[in-house]
């Protein structure tokens, strides 16, 4: 038997033990005769065990308790101790028989479970505290897109209390927002992949005239390998977006002011830079570049000739061909332009695009003779836009050559001077009427 078994006299002196007891206490049976088992009880449990034993003897009732018993190696282990009286016909106690079952592993498991439960409870309390106090929105929806949890921050942004969300479909709670967020929810639910940093714009529920911006991320909630719902973490970035827009407006205003300085000195090419910017932006969009990259190319194109502010005005407006020396002076404008704005901290490589906008794929351009991929993409786009606009517009030394001549020029040098992808995008835009050169500028 895996239990300690003993038999004792009415006054609890041991007169029999089984093999398990002998092995557990490490003593031969003869050394245990006349022994009181309570002597091996843990000191912290002794008083409690003695009191329970006395009550059981007085009441002639069974003894059931848990206590720690000392093993042969000095280690104390928890046991379930049970003892019952054997009585004669007159009801007098003749023997006590008892067992002790080792429950140390059970007690350890119970302690671990209690600890785990406490840790889970603490984690839940921490989560609830965070959800209630941090300025970040949290929500959890099930596979039917019903709200299971949502914190006050996100609920308030929807204009409803938390209770009015729980159990309702997101499409019913935020019908105006659902078309924007549904694709993200479905993607996560169907693939298990997260969707990160999606920008959402909506009007404010407490101020209908105000637009608010949110950055949202969505995660799969997985239980036993199965996606059971979608969690969302939502951060309001309205102030950041407003600051971004303000900075962009200031940057554009500064760029326009710098462009105006060049045009004052070269009235014959007035509007050239802004037209190049329009063409370059259209090409960049057609090539599938992101909004930020397009914005940077547009800004660089608006001031790509800023370096001409240092070129003598009589050279810029001369109605005849220039001498080699005068052409060398003109060529300085690319590097000069980059030098002028190099101290300005733009979020895009504006100086790089300005200094490279006259570089050519075969290395025949200036000022550095760069080749192929050595030339940044923005500069390759501006180069095509600059060529098309210049040839389509009037110059002091020649009349406008026309759109077809400009298109023939970039197509003829496609892959040699100009990036073929950029050329193809520009030609397609002109053919589709999205870039209208003659009607506007000739």
Domain range list for the chain: 4-102, 134-236, 240-441
Quote the pLDDT of residue 256: 66
Rg of the chain's alpha carbons, rounded to an integer? 43
Quote the pLDDT of residue 200: 82
Structure tokens, 346: 């733009």
Q: 4-102, what's its fold?
A: Beta-Lactamase (3.30.450)
Strands (E), 224-325: 226-236
Quote the pLDDT of residue 439: 39
Quote the pLDDT of residue 312: 66
Quote the pLDDT of residue 111: 82
CATH code for the structural domain at 240-441: 1.10.3210.10
Quote the pLDDT of residue 183: 93
Quote the pLDDT of residue 342: 79
Quote the pLDDT of residue 249: 65
Please determine whether the domains at 4-102 and 134-236 fall in the same fold group of CATH.
yes
Rounded mean pLDDT for each run of 10 residues along the chain, 442 residues in total: 87 87 85 80 91 84 91 91 88 88 88 81 70 75 91 85 92 90 92 88 68 86 86 81 66 64 57 88 94 91 82 61 73 85 81 94 94 95 92 65 85 95 94 69 36
CB 133 within 8 A of CB 116: no
Token pair 């206590």: residue: 67
Domain 134-236: give its CATH superfamily.
Answer: PAS domain (3.30.450.20)
Q: What is the 3-state secondary structure (H, E, C) of 83-130?
A: EEEEECCCCCEEEEEEEEEECHHHHHHHHHHHHHHHHHHHHHHHHHHH
Quote the pLDDT of residue 112: 82
Structure tokens, 89: 């016909």
């Amino acid at each position: 038997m895996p239990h300690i078994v003993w038999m004792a006299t009415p006054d609890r002196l041991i007169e029999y033990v089984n093999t398990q007891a002998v092995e557990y206490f490490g003593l031969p049976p003869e050394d245990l005769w006349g022994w009181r088992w309570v002597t091996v009880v843990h000191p912290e449990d002794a008083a409690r065990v003695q009191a329970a034993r006395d009550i059981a003897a007085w009441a002639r009732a069974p003894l059931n308790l848990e206590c720690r018993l000392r093993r042969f190696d000095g280690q104390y282990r928890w046991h379930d101790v049970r003892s019952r009286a054997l009585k004669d016909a007159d009801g007098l106690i003749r023997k006590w028989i008892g067992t002790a079952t080792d429950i140390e592993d059970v007690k350890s498991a119970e302690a671990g479970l209690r600890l785990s439960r406490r840790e889970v409870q603490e984690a839940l309390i921490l989560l609830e505290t965070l959800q209630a106090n941090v300025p970040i929105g949290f929500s959890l929806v099930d596979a039917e897109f019903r709200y299971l949890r949502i914190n006050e921050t996100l609920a308030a942004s929807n204009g409803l209390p938390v209770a009015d969300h729980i159990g309702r479909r997101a499409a019913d709670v935020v019908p105006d927002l659902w078309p924007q967020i549904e694709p993200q929810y479905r993607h996560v639910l169907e693939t298990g992949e997260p969707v990160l940093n999606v920008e959402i714009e909506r009007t404010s529920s407490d101020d209908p005239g105000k637009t608010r911006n949110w950055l949202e991320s969505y995660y799969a909630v997985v239980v036993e390998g199965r996606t059971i719902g979608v969690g969302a973490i939502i951060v309001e970035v309205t102030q950041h977006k407003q600051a971004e827009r303000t900075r962009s407006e200031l940057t554009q205003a500064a760029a326009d002011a710098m462009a105006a300085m060049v045009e004052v000195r070269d009235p014959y090419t007035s509007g050239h830079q802004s037209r190049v910017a329009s063409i370059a932006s259209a090409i960049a969009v057609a090539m599938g570049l992101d909004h930020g990259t397009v914005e940077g190319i547009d800004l660089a194109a608006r001031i790509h000739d800023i370096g001409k502010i240092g070129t003598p005005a009589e050279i810029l407006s001369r109605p005849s061909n220039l001498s080699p020396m005068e052409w060398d002076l003109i060529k300085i404008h690319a590097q000069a332009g980059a030098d002028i704005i190099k101290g300005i901290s733009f979020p895009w490589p504006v100086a790089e695009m300005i200094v490279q906008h006259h570089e050519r794929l075969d290395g025949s351009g200036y000022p550095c003779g760069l080749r192929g991929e050595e030339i940044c993409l923005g500069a390759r786009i501006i180069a095509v836009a600059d060529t098309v606009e210049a040839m389509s517009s009037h110059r002091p030394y020649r009349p406008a050559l026309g759109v077809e001549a400009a298109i023939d020029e970039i197509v003829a040098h496609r892959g040699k001077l100009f990036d073929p992808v950029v050329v193809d995008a520009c030609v397609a835009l002109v053919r589709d009427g999205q870039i209208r050169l003659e009607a506007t500028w000739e």
